[in-house]
Structure 1
Amino acid sequence: MKLNSLRSHLKALRPRQWTKNLVVFAAPLFAFEISTKSLFGGLLAFCLFCAASSSFYLLNDIFDVKSDRQHPVKCKRPIASGAVAIPTAIAMAAILLITALAIGWWNSTGLGLAILCYALLQVAYNLRLKHTVILDVIAISSGFILRAFAGAAATDIVLSSWFLLCTAMLALFLGIEKRKAELRLSELRGGKSRSVLHRYSLPLLSRMESVVTNGTIITYALWSSGPLVRGASTAWMMLTLPFVLYGVFRYQLLSDPQEIARRNNESESGGQTERPEEVLLGDKPLLLTVMAWVATTFSILFLKRYGYIS
């Protein structure tokens, strides 16, 4: 296979969106279970979800190939442009999904079940849910929750209620921000790219955003308060709360209608909250915030493990 052909096949898998699957590492991080076993288990779950998600990206591009070829940007996608043949894409999707399911079930029932539920969710989302107001956002958030559950199953970690609530709130937040950015971009371009956007409005999404933002911050704050509320194993995790606050507010800024309009006037890269996986890679302040949160968390974990803090 030639180098250009190999690149086209890799691009068809949408590797930039694999950052979504990093959620599988949330369970060991939140549980402070950082070990060789948890790292390898999390890595396995990450790879399997990358394979499963890529299989559906391929299938989506196959089903949408006719409309994509009429689109000024999507026509450059590997399948729409003809760089990747449809029979080849079908074979790739089947191999990736079957492999992910087989290895997942072989590793553990929980991991296999998470991948199977994710696959069923993707089928339901593409056939119906993405066209149904509110349920489309819930479906998007459910995908993140399944990723977190897979990470716990692969590492034999028992999920806490605060972890599940925080993950659910954060996932809903990302889904609402995605729709908010899509709606604003559609208005700027003079046409709505998704039929479900006709049922949304910026005031409605802003009210929904307010509810889940409060839920995200409150559940994380309670979890980080420590063992007295059955949260983190140390109350020193409260030190990470400022990073979460800044990250949430920064993400809101990037999806703000006026900010999107300003960025579109200045360049062609505005409105990236339509694609959450690209925000983390493209926005330096947000990326630095995530890195600072990880560094602080590992520092607290190190100090606690060696008895410097309780």
Structure 2
Amino acid sequence: MESEAQKPVSKNQKLPYLMALRPRQWTKNLVVFAAPLFAFSLNLPTLLGSATAFVLFCLTSSSFYLINDIADVESDRQHPVKCQRPIAAGLVSVPVALTMAVVLLGGSLVSSWWRSPYLGATITAYAILQIAYNLRLKRMVILDICAIATGFILRALAGGAATDITLSPWFLLCTAMLALFLGIEKRKAELRLTKLKGTKPRAVLKRYSLSLLSRMENVVTTGTVLTYALWSAGPYLKGASTSWMLVTLPFVLYGVFRYQLISDPVDNIDNSLEEQENNSSERPEEVLLKDLPILVTVISWIITCFIILLCKHKGVIQ
């Protein structure tokens, strides 16, 4: 009879190790594909380069998710939701999680520098940013949101570095504005849910108020729309290679407005606390995957971009 130690590990037993990497968070790393898409340079080499950057960012980010869960394991065990995380629940041991983190981070750094010095520098900068964020920045008001935005900018730069594409300054500014917008919406959701639950807020949330975050939101929303409009205006403003990208502006407007609607406390006032937690802008990746109008908007935007790219390639438009 085969002993317990000799039995192969089932898929259900392997699942906690995968969930500890937080694969749902990997949607944030899709930003690396924006470089070839926005540059209208979609071909096999650029797609392979972007895919490489995507995998490396997934490995790097997951290594820090593991490190964070190891550092917060005791507090997570006291949390009603975070206690279900694999490490806090005891499904993944701390030594194994630490080994996984070291292997993932070391592998991503070595692979990125081997692939390209620029990509290696970008991944390294992201790793340093994560260290600074977890040690200090996440507890510093305003700088915590700026750090989140910087992470998205580094993802965009990695996409350019992996594909040798020079990025438009309007594209980078638009990425920064959109990242700031998502970061502010995340803090708004956290602050509102903390007040609804009557729980003690994290240190950084004590320095924020919904009125302050709303004013900040107004600034970055305007900046997001303006920078995207300037990029889509075409080569005259050193933006997209065709001014036909202005056709996609309504999708961006609707997506931003829809996200604001979801995060609006007035819209959610009649919902139960559980419903608000499940449909919260505290987790942008969840909104992208679960909110049908936003998902349809993103898909429609991508399809429209491909049609414009195809028409430009065929010489139908300039």
- TM-score, structure 1 normalization: 0.98
The answer for the alignment partner of 2:30 in structure 1 is: 22
- Per-residue CA shift, 1:224-269, capped at 9, x if unaligned? 1111111111111011000000000111111112234333357364
Which structure has the greater CA radius of gyration? Answer: 2
1:266–1:103 distance in 2 versus 1, CA, 3 Å: closer
Shift of 1:174: 0.7
Answer yes or no: is 1:258 the counterpart of 2:266.
Answer: yes
Contact 1:181 1:271 in 2 (8 A): no
Measure the CA separation in 1 of the matches of 2:209 and 2:47: 42
- Please, which moves more after superposition, 104-113 or 252-261? 252-261
2:66 counterpart residue number = 58
> 2:136 and 2:268 mapped to 1: Cα distance?
29
Question: 2:39 aligned with 1:31, yes or no?
Answer: yes
Structure with greater helix share of residues: 1
Answering whether residue 74 of structure 2 is matched by residue 74 of structure 1, we say no
Partner residue in 1 for 2:146: 138
Return the alpha-carbon distance in structure 2 between the equivalents of residues 233 and 38 of structure 1: 17
The question of 1:124 aligning with 2:110 is answered no
Q: 2:180 aligns with which of 172, 186, 202?
A: 172
Q: CA deviation at 1:220?
A: 0.3
Q: Give the corresponding residue for 2:300.
A: 292
Map residues 230-249 of structure 1 onto 2, 5 A cutoff: 230-249=238-257
- Give, in whole Å, the separation in 2 of the partners of 1:57 and 1:211: 31
Superposed CA deviations along residues 121-152 of structure 1, whole A, max 9, x for unmatched, are: 11100110000000000000000000000000
Counterpart Cα distance in 2 of 1:173 and 1:265: 24
Number of the residue aligned with 2:220: 212
Gaps of 5+ in 2: 1-8
Residue of structure 1 equivalent to 2:5: none
Question: 8 Å contact 1:26–1:148 — kept in the other structure?
Answer: yes
Q: Which runs of 5+ in 1 are unaligned?
A: none
Comparing 74-83 with 191-200, greater Cα deviation is found at: 191-200
The code of the aligned residue for 1:209 comes to E
Give the superposed CA RMSD.
Answer: 1.1
**Helix, strand or coil for the counterpart of 2:47?**
helix
The percent identity for this pair of structures is: 64
The TM-score normalised by the length of structure 2 is 0.95
What is the count of residue pairs matched by the alignment?
310
